Amino acid sequence: MASTEDKAANKENVSSWKDSIYNPRTGELLGRTASSWALILLFYLVFYCFLAGMFALTMWVMLLTLDDYVPRYRDRVPEPGLVIRPNSLDIAFNKSDSKNYKTYVNHLESFLQRYNDSMQENNDDCISGEYYMQDDGEMTKKVCPFRRTFLSLCSGLSDTDFGYQEGKPCVLLKMNRIIGLKPIGDPYINCTIKKDHPVQMHYFPSEGRIDKMYFPYYGKKAHENYVQPLVAVKLLLTKEDYNKELAVECRVEGTNLRNNDERDKFLGRVTFRIKVVE
């Protein structure tokens, strides 16, 4: 049996442990009085308010240096890449099965909605072959029209299947938007297929030209209704080309834009594969 001294010692230990949390004799909580806790909380409240104020002031000063219309730093993307529509680098379909290529057709049709005449009729007529400079101080820039009718057989108007039903598919190409870009020369798109015998292609607009009147681009906010000029390539595949995977490379030519950088295979060019099953 525990002695009277042991019981007294246990009670003292329990009392000491409870007092470390709350001491009713001194009114201390966790070793501090109410006034001490109030001073500590007041200090941290002032301290964190000061930090929040410093952060807000820093952000406000930084935002004052930014332009709503033009990014401050544009050196990471000095030249445009080349992209294709439909949005796939591996195009494969059975030309006898409409369900098989319907995804590509729907994507092209959806993409070209912004190029309908109803969307382009309010844009300004521009002078072909000349940059459309708008440095007159107006914040909202005017837009040169690019109608889908310019794409002729690949417009989806006369042929709603964009050539996929007949095994002669259309592919649309465009350059990425770069603010202030003014390509020197007369840019055009040229595509080649890596195989033993050449494959004929039709380009729309003629010769795959990209008119300089669509440059420069002034940014998403200033050029709100801007649409990129397109080049459509219709691949005139024959039966000899069916059931084979063909690698197609398209490049921006005729200008100072880079298209042969081995570190970036999408800079001024794009390579995609196409396979048509009969």
Q: How far is CA 134 from CA 78, 167, 217, 228, in A?
A: 21, 44, 10, 17
In a domain, 128, yes or no: yes
Q: End of a domain among 65, 91, 122?
A: 65
pLDDT at 261: 83
Q: Would you say the C-alpha torsion 143, 84, 86, 88 has a positive or negative sign?
A: negative
In a domain, 211, yes or no: yes
In a domain, 70, yes or no: no
> Using omega within 30 degrees of 0 as the cis cutoff, is the peptide bond preceding 80 cis?
no
pLDDT at 3: 55
**What is the per-residue pLDDT across 30-40, written as a single tens digit (0 to 9) for each?**
667 778 888 88
If DSSP codes are grouped into helix, strand and coil, which group holds residue 23?
Answer: strand
**What is the per-residue pLDDT across 266-278, written as a single tens digit (0 to 9) for each?**
889 999 999 999 8
If DSSP codes are grouped into helix, strand and coil, which group holds residue 227?
Answer: coil
Which is it for strands 245-255 and 90-94: parallel, antiparallel or unpaired? unpaired
* d(C-alpha 64, C-alpha 59), whole Å: 9
Verify that 58 and 128 share a domain, yes or no: no
Query: Which tops the pLDDT comparison, 30 or 244?
Result: 244
In a domain, 250, yes or no: yes
**What is the per-residue pLDDT across 164-174, written as a single tens digit (0 to 9) for each?**
999 999 999 99
Contacts of 131 (CB under 8 A, 6+ apart): 182, 212, 213, 215, 216
Buried b (16+ CB within 10 A) or exposed e, 153-182: bbbbeebebbbbbebbbbbbbbbbebbebe
pLDDT at 1: 46
Verify that 188 and 61 share a domain, yes or no: no
Verify that 257 and 131 share a domain, yes or no: yes
In a domain, 41, yes or no: yes
pLDDT band per the 50, 70, 90 thresholds, residue 11:
low
Verify that 49 and 172 share a domain, yes or no: no
Contacts of 190 (CB under 8 A, 6+ apart): 208, 250, 251, 253
pTM: 0.77
Q: How far is CA 44 from CA 16, 127, 162, 248, in A?
A: 30, 65, 67, 65
Verify that 106 and 243 share a domain, yes or no: yes
Query: Which tops the pLDDT comparison, 141 or 196?
Result: 141
**What is the per-residue pLDDT across 183-234, written as a single tens digit (0 to 9) for each?**
999 999 999 997 777 889 999 999 999 999 999 998 888 888 899 999 999 9
pLDDT band per the 50, 70, 90 thresholds, residue 14:
low
Does position 26 have pLDDT exceeding 90, yes or no?
Answer: no
Verify that 173 and 148 share a domain, yes or no: yes
CATH number for the domain harbouring residue 263: 2.60.40.1660
Verify that 89 and 175 share a domain, yes or no: yes
**What is the per-residue pLDDT across 75-108, written as a single tens digit (0 to 9) for each?**
666 789 999 999 899 999 999 999 999 999 999 9
Average of pLDDT values for 225-249? Answer: 93
Residue 99 is part of which domain span? Answer: 82-276
Verify that 196 and 258 share a domain, yes or no: yes
pLDDT averaged over the chain? 87
In a domain, 73, yes or no: no
